[in-house]
Amino acid sequence: MIQRADRLNNVKEYYFSKKLREVAALRNEGKPIINIAIGSPDLNPPASVIEAIQNAVELPNAHQYQSYQGIPELREGIATFYKEKYNVNLNATTEILPLMGSKEGIMHISMAFLNKGDKVLIPNPGYPTYASVTNLVQAEAIFYNLNETTNWLPNFEELEKEDLSKVKIMWVNYPHMPTGAVASKEDFKQLIAFAKKHNILIVNDNPYSFILNEKPISILDVEGAKEVAIELNSLSKTFNMAGWRVGMVVGNAEIIKTILQVKSNMDSGMFFGIQKGAVEAFKLSNEWFKSQNEIYTKRRAIVWEIFDALNCTYNQAIGGLFVWAKLPKGIKSEAITDELLYNKNVFITPGTIFGSNGEGYIRASLCVDAEVLNEVLNRLTTVKI
Ligand SMILES: Cc1ncc(COP(=O)(O)O)c(C=O)c1O
């Protein structure tokens, strides 16, 4: 048997990749499983975006390799979007790199900046990919605690007690997934000051800023942020284009150039039609965000009822595509998740997949039609926990 690489020793298959196989098997047995676990938007992308990709496939250059840096029109669209929505100036030629989804950016950034043994600050709870990619590049994950008492924001006093000398990257993600916590500009200022003091690259992963969030902000809006911070962003949730795979990394030209050094060796450009679709998405008016958020607001009210039925508590003043709920004392996240899956045919996310601080919590997605959420509510009203 050929030995697999050592870099896989600390990396497991992605939770959803494994659990969805189990869900599929249960469905094959005839179980009517409802999935309220995953944040894959079920609503349609804007009509103008669909039309743009349809038109693009007729163009003669649509089928050729595309620029490693994305078409200029897309980078200009991103620059205008950042100016209008976040008040951030970006040079469309040097400070923007389109990505095939922000998830791949996590790998590119890690490969571009981390050597074996370098340390990386990773939120607990947080998006699992930060840690698995850190392990894949054989750097060392240092988990920093987020909890209710600090409203899921970094505790700098605690962080300062760590040996930070080998830390090169700190992942932050506000609005935060899974908790929905939102950072203010003041919070970002503190992060930038911390990064400057310790010479750390901050990467803010910002795919949720337009979902149920009154004031979208970018970490790059903080003065001097470009010296130490970059930002990942995505069209997956903002424009319901998760399967299209389109996002971007923006910030300091030198850093972007370094990331391109990795990325240009890994793919050969993004499909032209997707880029043309993305260009249209960035032109949409605020009506688009309003219409999406009206739907998510209605769905969230039903999810709150679902969590009431489970005797959970939750913070209503949060953003993003999920509701994060605290279980009654003594109930374990994975135990209740399995109970709901096997006894109620409802698949929900256990908080523990986001780290140890997710114990005692569960997460529900708003990417489910209101009617289906009501069916979940029906099924749950008889659950005893
Ligand atoms: C916090 C966070 N970052 C990044 C991603 C990846 O998004 P994309 O579809 O842009 O790769 C997700 C997707 O669920 C996410 O929740």
- The CATH number covering residue 244 comes to 3.40.640.10
| Assigned domain for 169 exists | yes
Which among 217, 247, 281 is the end of a domain? 281
Q: Are residues 151 and 86 in the same domain?
A: yes
Does residue 307 share a domain with residue 259?
no
Checking if the pLDDT of 272 tops 90, the result is yes
- Closest approach atom of ligand 1 to CA 99: 10
Residue of 236, 238, 353, 367 with the most ligand 1 atoms within 8 Å of its CB, for mutation: 236
Look at residue 1 and tell me if it is in a domain.
Answer: no
Mean pLDDT, rounded, for 45-54: 97
Q: Which among 265, 281, 297 is the end of a domain?
A: 281
Q: Which two tokens stand for residue 131?
A: 């840690």
pLDDT at position 16: 82
Residue bearing the CA closest to ligand 1, atom 6: 103
Residue 385: inside a domain? no
Whether residue 207 has its Cβ less than 6 Å from ligand 1? yes
Give bridge partners of residue 362 from the DSSP assignment: 325, 350
pTM for this predicted structure: 0.95
- Ligand 1 mean position, distance from CA 315 (Å): 22
Structural domain total, the chain:
2
Query: Residue 102 C-alpha to ligand 1 middle, in angstroms?
Result: 6
What's the gap between Cα 257 and its chain centre?
Answer: 23
27 and 97 belong to one structural domain: no
Tell me if 237 CB under 6 Å of ligand 1. Answer: no
158, 82: one domain: yes
Same domain as 245, residue 130:
yes
User: Domain check: are 75 and 19 in the same one?
Assistant: no
291: enclosing H helix or E strand: helix 286-309
Please tell me whether residues 101 and 226 are part of one structural domain.
yes
Whether the per-residue pLDDT at 385 is higher than 60: the answer is: no
Q: Are residues 199 and 259 in the same domain?
A: yes
Any domain includes 264: yes
Instruction: Give the separation between CA 272 and CA 73, rounded to whole angstroms.
Output: 11
Taking the centre of ligand 1 as the mean of its atom positions, its distance from the CA of residue 255, in whole angstroms, is 21
| pLDDT at residue 110 in the model | 98
212: left (phi over 0), alpha (psi -120 to 50) or beta: left
Distance 158 CA to ligand 1 centre (A): 27
| CATH number reported for the structural domain that contains residue 18 in this entry | 3.90.1150.10
Co-location of 13 and 70 in the same domain: no
97-133 CB burial, b ≥16 within 10 A, e <16: bbbbbbbbbbbbbbbbbbeeebbbbbbbbbbbbbbbb
Among the residue ranges 3-17, 159-173, 181-195, 358-372, the one predicted with the least confidence is 3-17
CA 148 / ligand 1 centre spacing (Å): 23
Using CA atoms, how far apart are residues 103 and 98, in angstroms rounded to an integer?
A: 12
Based on the fold, state whether residues 222 and 303 are members of the same structural domain. Answer: no
Task: Supply the pLDDT for residue 257.
Answer: 98
Range of the domain at 55: 47-281
pLDDT digits (tens, 9 = 90+) for 211-249: 999 999 999 999 999 999 999 999 999 999 999 999 999
Taking residue 211's Cβ as centre, other Cβ atoms within 10 Å add up to 22
CA-proximal residue: ligand 1, atom 15 (nearest): 127
Percent of the chain with pLDDT over 70: 99
Query: Does the beta carbon of 103 lie inside 6 Å of ligand 1?
Result: yes
The last residue of a domain, from among 281, 313, 331: 281
Q: What is the mean pLDDT of residues 336-355?
A: 95
Assigned domain for 217 exists: yes
* Pair (204, 149) in one structural domain: yes
Q: Are residues 138 and 268 in the same domain?
A: yes
